Structure 1
């Protein structure tokens, strides 16, 4: 799909790719204003093609942030992460001297859900002068780059995903066994395909991540661990990546079904304050 193919004649904005494979910056659009059907279609096609799209200088309110994300689907409420007061759908992600950055692992958001997210819309409220970039990695390219031997092992395989990291945080915060048991009931471990077929593009991509995947079903632990380690490592290949340097009021909108991301934690003790809204997706297949 070419850039010209997705831009209607009336479009006043432009799409500039960051790399040949992933990431594009969109300029000439004001997200504080409602978008028409043609513009929404262009943005969705750009998201599908580039996996993550970026916008600069978007001085929008929380309500406008939510309204933009709702144009692409229903929004989720994260059951573990802190939210902005009065806005349960808005994750408040703040790091500073007392709270160093910790999202520096390659992952796709909330894969421990039965229906993980379609996409995430992240807005920069306050960012360091230098550092705090987010990297994104193309999981289509990662799958395509695997050997035929590895593809043969993982095509049709499923893996278990769990919110183990958040369970540990609950324990550390002093939650009772009953409270943790209730969360286990609400969000039991789920199985997702190791190789996901994107519901809109039909393309195959690696769909395991070091943050939430536990093991591959039906494999001995040693074999599962070794194979998962190999798959996790593919996200770190530079040819599959783009890197975004944040500015205040920048926005990133990424497709969790097609890419993984990594927030570089290289800015301590500076402040990095972000707000994220997440769009509910469907069950992977």
Structure 2
């Protein structure tokens, strides 16, 4: 197995690994913990093999909004055809932050991509937090924020293209509002991380609306700086 870091703060490419082999998993898992985002190249796997690989990370959180694989509900389908204007998840977000227990990770298996584009940007929320001043860190450590699925997957979003064409559904299940710390300690690496995102965070508890918006917009802009990202 060969591992090549993508940037100084986030991401790595892995070559000569086989996700179907249980003996490879420990090295893959350690790389995931160290680099945050890993791209495991040249994998030709079946849906069943992807599910088995995912289960090695923990219990699978079945997405209740995305259209699923016809034979495997554990697999959510991320589809964008040429005639569709909007790609699912285009904005900066943290998957399932609206859940009381957010997911440990997401596993994407690319089936078909365009010749250009189609990639995904990722941000190191630990590096972004580490770059803040000590005063801002201490302020944020004492704060909590609300996350919600209602405005993204609920009835108020029914006019969005992805809802109309069936890529997203079940708006009646978008009832979650949950409170999470603004700063969390990553359960695997132990690093402190910002835990807010543009898509699902609605406000910071205990602040006036304009104060909350101002701080959140600063954090979103800060965390998406190229210094903290990879793609």
**TM-score for both structures, normalised by structure 2:** 0.90
Contact residue 15 and residue 42 of structure 2 kept, 8 A: no
Aligned counterparts of 2:82 and 2:36: Cα–Cα separation in 1? 32
Q: Find the partner of 2:50 among 53, 58, 65.
A: 65
RMSD: 1.7
Aligned counterparts of 2:94 and 2:220: Cα–Cα separation in 1? 11
What is the aligned partner in structure 1 of residue 226 from structure 2? 238
Cα offset, 1:241, TM superposition: 1.1
Say yes or no: does 1:130 pair with 2:116.
Answer: yes
What is the aligned partner in structure 1 of residue 81 from structure 2? 96
More strand by share: 1
What is the aligned partner in structure 2 of residue 29 from structure 1? 17
Structure 1 unpaired stretches of 5+: 1-12, 244-285
The residue matched to 1:224 in structure 2 has which SS?
helix
The 5 Å alignment of 1:235-274 reads: 235-243=223-231
Cα offset, 1:25, TM superposition: 0.7
What is the aligned partner in structure 1 of residue 32 from structure 2? 47
Cα offset, 1:240, TM superposition: 0.8
Say yes or no: does 1:196 pair with 2:181.
Answer: no
Cα offset, 1:197, TM superposition: 0.8
Aligned counterparts of 1:205 and 1:214: Cα–Cα separation in 2? 18
What is the aligned partner in structure 2 of residue 227 from structure 1? 215
Say yes or no: does 1:85 pair with 2:51.
Answer: no
What is the aligned partner in structure 1 of residue 173 from structure 2? 183
Contact residue 106 and residue 235 of structure 1 kept, 8 A: no
Cα offset, 1:170, TM superposition: 4.3
Cα offset, 1:14, TM superposition: 1.1
Moved over 3 A (4+): 169-174
Aligned counterparts of 2:65 and 2:90: Cα–Cα separation in 1? 18
Count of residues in correspondence between the two structures: 221
The residue matched to 1:57 in structure 2 has which SS?
coil
The 5 Å alignment of 1:148-167 reads: 148-163=134-149, 164-167=151-154
Aligned counterparts of 2:61 and 2:125: Cα–Cα separation in 1? 23
Higher RCO, 1 or 2 (CA under 8 Å, sep at least 6)? 1
Aligned counterparts of 2:131 and 2:13: Cα–Cα separation in 1? 25
What is the aligned partner in structure 2 of residue 248 from structure 1? none
Structure 2 unpaired stretches of 5+: 165-169
The residue matched to 2:73 in structure 1 has which SS?
strand
Aligned counterparts of 1:103 and 1:154: Cα–Cα separation in 2? 26
**TM-score for both structures, normalised by structure 1:** 0.73
Cα offset, 1:68, TM superposition: 0.8
